[in-house]
């Protein structure tokens, strides 16, 4: 690895964080404005035009509030937990292709050949932050929240992992990559292997009905619901369900430590949305106006990033909309849904896809 | 650059592995479980240095993620007070030492091998495509693969039997 490589990687990381942090801040604003609209209120509109500077005010408030540590907590874990919630949500972004290329550089920090496995590995670590927060707080409600979260996230991780297998069964078609792609794509994909996320995008770039959401609707449905459970969003926010557990795993947290949990949730939502855009909605491509190929100039490069953020925004609004529409599940319903409905369905989907591929060959 | 990373991960893996079984600062089973996570992550880092990205990712998914289950096991099933009082026992010591000696004997060929590793097969299985690895598992190594799955099933049944106090 040369100095130039390191500098380029650093620049990409800085740019990505610069892109993701405002997205997190403004998804909080969006959450508050959309919830207000749904409940026939106005929502925060005092700070700046249309309340657009609200994140600054919120941030200032989080910094100035007293950072209170109850004296019965387990200190080391109490400090570690917020960071452990925040870090995995950010690390997932390392393998997600946000756009095609700018200045001849691929718009992904680490173009791993095991991209999807990397994201699942990181997601499997994200449960530690919440469970440790519950354990460290050393009091009843956070503890229950942490335990709930662990069972919930382990269960839905399995359904989630199983649901994407058919997608990769379809996309690991060597013939398609040998003959079905234009030259721009072939050079773009040089050196990638089966589980690379850019390949999934290439496979879906042909037409609208090549998108996995149309080819694998069941896989998409399972993945979508599992994403809600993995990010602890309503209707699956059992770990923090405020009507029974006060605030669940972050009851004892205040000030910036609480903010890290809060922002971590939104970062996880953005990461899950980005993953769904890549896997099911054709990533940064659109099947017309020549936008289905890696960019050759600066304008299309920027346009691809804009398309990606636009698709991601649709999922974010959907996440928020669901939160203010559906009531919370009961815990046994949640577990039944995960283990007795989605897991068998995902397995059946794998078998059906396998049989179809076998017939076709 | 590589040696720096190697020694960092190797030292981290060994030290935290020791802290899993013997922690002089705290007799807290949750702390031990957390050090197990650090060990698993360091080993995954070593896999990355070997260019075995698939193995690295699977290491984190299967082991580091699954320590969570151990963690729950500690909190919900283990009597933590009794565990704190427990001292080192002779039987445990003897079986532990003989087990480590046996492991070293099993791996002695790899540990004291002359010359470098066979790089062609290594890169084919690890670095190459995941489908190559899958094909190997389902053709050449099918029997060991299936036996391991039966072993896992037995372990799962055992856990259900142990955690259910009264059987109907």
pLDDT digits (tens, 9 = 90+) for A36-64: 989 888 888 888 787 788 888 888 888 88
User: Percent of chain A scored above 90 by pLDDT?
Assistant: 9
Task: Give yes or no for A172 touching B (CB within 8 A).
Answer: yes
Least confident of A8-12, A22-26, B74-78: B74-78
Query: Look-up: residue for tokens 């925040």?
Result: A86
Task: Give yes or no for A114 touching B (CB within 8 A).
Answer: yes
Q: What is the pLDDT of residue B125?
A: 47
The alpha-carbon gap from B75 to the nearest alpha carbon of chain A, in Å, equals: 9
On whether residue A176 sits in a domain, the answer given is: yes
On whether residue A53 sits in a domain, the answer given is: no
Task: Give yes or no for B76 touching A (CB within 8 A).
Answer: yes
The dihedral region occupied by A51, where left means phi > 0, alpha psi between -120 and 50, and beta the remainder, is: left
Residue A351 has pLDDT above 60, yes or no: yes
pLDDT range class, residue A222, cuts 50, 70, 90: very high
Using CB atoms within 10 Å of the CB of residue A118, give its burial: 0 to 12 exposed, 13 to 18 middle, 19+ buried.
buried
Residue A26 has pLDDT above 60, yes or no: yes
Tell me which residue in A112, A150, A195 faces B72 most closely, judged by beta carbons.
Answer: A150
The alpha-carbon gap from B136 to the nearest alpha carbon of chain A, in Å, equals: 16
The alpha-carbon gap from A62 to the nearest alpha carbon of chain B, in Å, equals: 29
The alpha-carbon gap from B7 to the nearest alpha carbon of chain A, in Å, equals: 18
| DSSP one-letter code for A341 | I
A122 contacts in B (CB within 8 Å)? 60
Mean pLDDT over each residue of chain A, to the nearest integer: 85
**Over the stretch A305-337, which tens digit does the pLDDT of each residue have?**
888 889 999 999 999 999 888 888 888 888 888
B129 contacts in A (CB within 8 Å)? 113, 193-194
On whether residue A119 sits in a domain, the answer given is: yes
Taking CA–CA distances from A150, the nearest residue in chain B reads: B68
Residue A348 has pLDDT above 90, yes or no: yes
Task: Give yes or no for B101 touching A (CB within 8 A).
Answer: no
CB contact under 8 Å between B130 and A124, yes or no, is no
Q: How many domains does chain A have?
A: 1
- Contact predicate A356/A262, CB 8 Å: no
Higher-pLDDT residue of A337, A361: A337
Residue B54 has pLDDT above 60, yes or no: yes
SS3 for chain B, per residue?
CHHHHHHHHHHHHHHHHHHHHCCCCCCCHHHHHHHHHHHHHHHHHHHHHCCCHHHHHHHHHHHHCCHHHHHHHHHHHCCHHHHHHCCCCHHHHHHHHHHHHHHHHHCHHHHCCCCCCCHHHHHHHCCCCHHHHHHHHHCCCHHHHHHHHHHHHHHHHHHHHHHCCCCC
Predicted TM-score (pTM) of this structure: 0.85
On whether residue A226 sits in a domain, the answer given is: yes
Q: What is the pLDDT of residue B165?
A: 66
Tell me which residue in A128, A135, A194 faces B130 most closely, judged by beta carbons.
Answer: A194
On whether residue A31 sits in a domain, the answer given is: no
Mean pLDDT (whole number) for A151-180: 83
On whether residue A258 sits in a domain, the answer given is: yes
- Max mean pLDDT among A259-268, A284-293, B111-120 falls in A259-268
On whether residue A169 sits in a domain, the answer given is: yes
Domain that holds residue A240: 70-360
Query: Chains A, B: CB contacts under 8 A, how many?
Result: 62
On whether residue A10 sits in a domain, the answer given is: no
CB contact under 8 Å between B65 and A124, yes or no, is yes
């Amino acid at each position: 690895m040369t100095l130039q490589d390191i500098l380029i990687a650093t620049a990409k990381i800085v740019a990505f964080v610069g892109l993701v942090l405002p997205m997190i801040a403004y998804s909080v604003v969006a959450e508050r404005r959309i919830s207000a609209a749904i409940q026939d209120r106005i929502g925060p509109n005092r700070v700046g035009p249309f309340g657009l500077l609200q994140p600054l005010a919120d941030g200032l408030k989080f910094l100035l509030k007293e950072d209170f540590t109850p004296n019965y907590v387990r200190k080391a874990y109490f400090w570690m937990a917020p960071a452990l919630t925040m870090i995995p949500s950010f690390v997932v972004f390392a393998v997600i292709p946000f756009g095609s290329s700018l200045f001849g550089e691929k718009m992904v920090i680490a173009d791993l050949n095991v991209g999807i496995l990397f994201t699942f590995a990181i997601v499997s670590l994200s449960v530690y932050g919440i469970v440790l927060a519950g354990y460290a707080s050393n009091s009843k409600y956070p503890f229950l929240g942490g335990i709930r979260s662990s069972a919930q996230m382990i269960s839905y991780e399995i359904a989630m992992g199983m649901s994407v297998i058919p997608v990769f069964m379809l996309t690991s078609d060597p013939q398609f990559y040998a003959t079905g792609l234009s030259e721009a794509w072939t050079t773009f994909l040089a050196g990638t292997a089966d589980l690379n996320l850019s390949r999934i995008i290439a496979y879906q770039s042909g037409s609208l009905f090549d998108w996995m959401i149309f080819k694998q609707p069941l896989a998409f449905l399972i993945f979508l619901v599992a994403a809600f459970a993995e990010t602890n969003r309503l209707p699956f926010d059992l770990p923090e369900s405020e009507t029974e557990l006060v605030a669940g795993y972050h009851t004892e947290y205040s000030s910036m430590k609480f903010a890290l949990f809060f922002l971590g949730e939104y970062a996880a939502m953005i990461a899950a949305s980005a993953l769904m855009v890549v896997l099911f909605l054709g990533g940064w491509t659109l099947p017309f106006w020549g936008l289905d190929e890696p960019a050759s100039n600066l304008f299309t490069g920027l346009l691809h990033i804009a398309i990606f953020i636009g698709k991601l925004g649709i999922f974010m609004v959907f996440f928020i909309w669901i939160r203010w529409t559906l009531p919370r599940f009961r815990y046994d319903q949640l577990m039944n849904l995960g283990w007795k409905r989605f897991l068998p369905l995902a397995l059946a989907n794998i078998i059906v896809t396998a049989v179809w591929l076998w017939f076709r060959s | 650059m590589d040696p720096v990373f190697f020694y960092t991960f190797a030292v981290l893996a060994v030290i935290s592995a020791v802290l899993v079984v013997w922690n002089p600062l705290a007799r807290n089973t949750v702390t031990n479980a957390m050090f197990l996570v650090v060990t698993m992550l360091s080993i995954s880092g070593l896999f990355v240095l070997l260019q075995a990205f698939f193995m690295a990712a699977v290491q984190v998914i299967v082991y580091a993620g699954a320590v969570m289950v151990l963690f729950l096991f500690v909190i919900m099933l283990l009597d933590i007070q009794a565990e704190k009082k427990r001292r080192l026992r002779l039987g445990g010591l003897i079986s532990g030492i003989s087990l480590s000696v046996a492991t070293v004997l099993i791996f002695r060929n790899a540990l004291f091998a002359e010359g470098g590793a066979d790089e062609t097969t290594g890169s084919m299985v690890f670095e190459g495509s995941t489908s190559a690895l899958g094909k190997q598992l389902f053709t050449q190594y099918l029997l060991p693969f299936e036996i391991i799955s039966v072993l896992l099933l037995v372990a799962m049944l055992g856990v259900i039997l142990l955690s259910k106090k009264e059987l109907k």
